Structure 1
Amino acid sequence: MDPGEIVRRSVLRGIILGGGAVLLSGCGQPGSSAGTQPPTVAAADPISVKDQRGKTITFSGPVTRVVTIPMPAASLLVAVDQGADHLAAMHNASWIAMRDGIMGQLHPAALKIPHDIATQDFTPNVESVRALDPDVVVQWSDSQLTAPLENAGLKVVGLNNTGTQQDVDAWIALFAAMLGKPDRATQIKARSDAELKEVQSAAIGRTQAGPRILYFNRFTGGLKVAGTNSYNDFYIKLVGGTNPASGQQGVKGSGMVGVDVEQVLAWDPEVILLGNFDGAMPNDIYSNPIWQTIAAVRARRVYKVPLGGYRWDPPGQESPLMWHWLSDISFPQPQKSQLRSKVAGYYDFLYARQPSPAQIDKILWTDVNGRSAAYGQFDAS
């Protein structure tokens, strides 16, 4: 799907805000005269949302205890809510990203939240989840993952992951509606759309061909790259690059696909991106004789993808920053990048926190990426 068409779709499609009566208290209060009504108190209106399964879930009011099982959901909830107060539990991989990234520093309370409520493959520990007494459990929409929770009497919101920006928009809209903050979804989407137009405009205005960019979802313990119908393929093409794994000589299948060394050597990528789902770093490639003939190694254009409030490689609330980072990596300019100021402003907008220069260095992996080409454009001074 064309990226422009993706972002033109309404973020609020499928979100239904239920109307509810305002209830007035009719009791007397001490010291009041007979027949005098006390101050009125408005009860919360019921809220209904339609999840990505097409199922409608109704809450008596804004949710206050949310268990999230899909990996991007925990940090996305924090971004929509601008805090971790309503996050009751999360997947362990979400917690690791908060610990290893910057979220645990921005919102330290997030690191104290339970994170043992599901297996690596997202199978829920139903009893552990029930013990937390959540208002709602956010889960991938696969019926095998949602049914055990619903059979236990829990309310479940199902999410799809088709690798599109439309998914991010839908997740944000669902979370904002559940939290009773629908305007927050509108704000986040408007800002994301503006950043997308800026990146698209820059790509359209270039005359030089973009580099061949290969994203490794896994590098250690077996190679896995992003093929067609992946979010990584979307943003590689968005900035004006090409993805050899999804081209005419690409891999069969879609999403993340396993490959061998010979295939990568044949593709000869000009830029290599190492994701945040394993510990691979640029020096692991630079120092290995197997990879020395690859264009990206010869030009020292191997980069660890940033890790902020969440991993920048999959779809999420920080994806607009990923687009700008990849654009600058792919088409480095002689002047300093504006990414650091964008990070500072975006974090204030998402998390109500201003990262320090040292924290921005951590997000951008300036220590491990600093020996790669053109990375000085992201230096603080």
Structure 2
Amino acid sequence: MRIDDLNRRAVLQVFVAGGSAALLAGCGASGPPTAASPSGSGTASAGSESISITDQRGKKITFAKPVTTVVTIPMPAASLLVAVDRSADHLSAMHNASWAAMRDGIMGTMFPSALKLPHEIAAQDFTPNVESVRALNPDVVIQWSDSQLVEPLENAGLTVIGLKNTGTQEDVDAWITMFAAMLGKPERATEIKEHSDKELAEIKSVAAGRGSAGPSILYFNRFTGGLKAAAANTYNDFYIKLVGGTNPATDKDPLPGAGMVGLDVEQVLRWDPEVILLGNFDVAMPKDIYSDPVWQNVAAVRSRRVYKVPLGGYRWDPPGQESPLMWHWLSDIAFPQARSGLRSKVTEYFQFLYNHEPTSGELDKILWTAGNSDSADYQQFNAG
């Protein structure tokens, strides 16, 4: 979904215990919030002590007190919960792909206890292992809102908050608002959104001030074992356009359908993208493209503009709490700087999100400085 469309989507309204404070966590686009819509809205309210949340299915869930044990199945949810909580203390189990991102990134370094949690509680397609989840007796299970994924959990007597993923910044804001409310920390949602809005405004201002068009940027969600690129209605398409680039998969010769769409090398050769982004959902690195004769005539390969997307507390590819850092990174990839200020921005953001100051080595790991070292202008992200 394009950024202009976000203004027409709903925002979340949260009333915390006592009803004295209202927090608006709207879409990532600038502009006033609009009336709530069933597809993307949630309302959390509380009486004197209880906490009620309306999830993205439109279902109201009430807790007598802040939750203390949470099982997360959607991949971004585990690290998002930790960022909202600034702790892994209330995370009880997670999807294996969430756990792998913690292991491969630095979340496991910041919160080593998270790596000891159960992570075989759902299949790759998010179908829950109901008996494994029920054995943990969590206060709440976070799950994608598809009925076939939610109903087995609810039929087993478990409380479920359903999330939708329509590829928008609004989803991130909605998830953060619900997580903050259920943890009894509604003010945290306001803090995170204020940070995100500030960074979004900065990116939009810089993009608007440029006198030249940006490069064509193709994002691969999968590269090894079959190509998949970000097509219409993806968060990747949103941020490519946000920084001033164009996405060939949604441009004059678009891929059919929406989401992550399969394609062949011939299609990429016809597009001839100027920049290629490799996501963190497989092991492909720039050297794999540079060394393959099939790709040698692609503009991005000829100019050495193939980059592995950073991996921080979570993957930067999809929407999440570190998305503002992705916007800045991609802006500097599309329009290289002599010296990027991203390292200091990552440090500030990690202190805010996780109460952790990353070391120089951790910053190099997050930014894949070794894996991207043979790519053009990547020295802008090196330590000074």
Q: TM-score, normalised by structure 2?
A: 0.91
* Cα offsets for 1:124-145 (capped at 9, x unmatched): 0111101101000000000000
Matched, 1:373 2:376: yes
The answer to whether the 8 A contact 2:78-2:98 is kept is yes
The answer to whether the 8 A contact 1:72-1:310 is kept is yes
* Cα offsets for 1:5-27 (capped at 9, x unmatched): 6379644352222112xxxxxxx
SS of the residue corresponding to residue 116 of structure 1 reads coil
Q: 2:35 aligns to what?
A: none
Q: 1:166 aligns to what?
A: 170
What's the RMSD between the two structures over aligned residues?
1.1
Q: 1:196 & 1:317 partners in 2: Cα distance?
A: 13
Matched, 1:339 2:342: yes
Q: 2:374 & 2:167 partners in 1: Cα distance?
A: 31
Q: 2:237 aligns to what?
A: 233
Q: 1:19 aligns to what?
A: 47
* Cα offsets for 1:59-109 (capped at 9, x unmatched): 110000000000000000000000100000000000000000010001111
Q: 2:209 aligns to what?
A: 205
The answer to whether the 8 A contact 1:7-1:193 is kept is no
Gaps of at least 5 residues in structure 2 are: 14-40
Q: 2:47 & 2:220 partners in 1: Cα distance?
A: 47
Q: 1:7 & 1:358 partners in 2: Cα distance?
A: 39
1:69 to 56, 70, 73: 73
Q: How does 1:56-205 map to 2 (within 5 A)?
A: 56-205=60-209
Q: Give % identity.
A: 71
Structure 1 position 299, deviation (Å): 0.5
Q: 2:134 & 2:62 partners in 1: Cα distance?
A: 18
Question: Which ranges of 4 or more aligned residues in structure 1 deviate by more than 6 Å?
Answer: none
Q: 2:276 aligns to what?
A: 272
Q: 2:224 & 2:85 partners in 1: Cα distance?
A: 35
1:216 to 195, 220, 223: 220
Q: 2:12 & 2:167 partners in 1: Cα distance?
A: 16
SS of the residue corresponding to residue 278 of structure 1 reads coil
* Cα offsets for 1:304-335 (capped at 9, x unmatched): 0000000000010000000000000000022x
Matched, 1:352 2:355: yes
Q: 1:75 & 1:164 partners in 2: Cα distance?
A: 18
Aligned residue-pair number? 356
Structure 1 position 4, deviation (Å): 5.3
1:286 to 262, 285, 290: 290
Q: 1:99 & 1:2 partners in 2: Cα distance?
A: 32
For 1:15, give the aligned amino acid: T
SS of the residue corresponding to residue 361 of structure 1 reads helix
SS of the residue corresponding to residue 307 of structure 2 reads strand
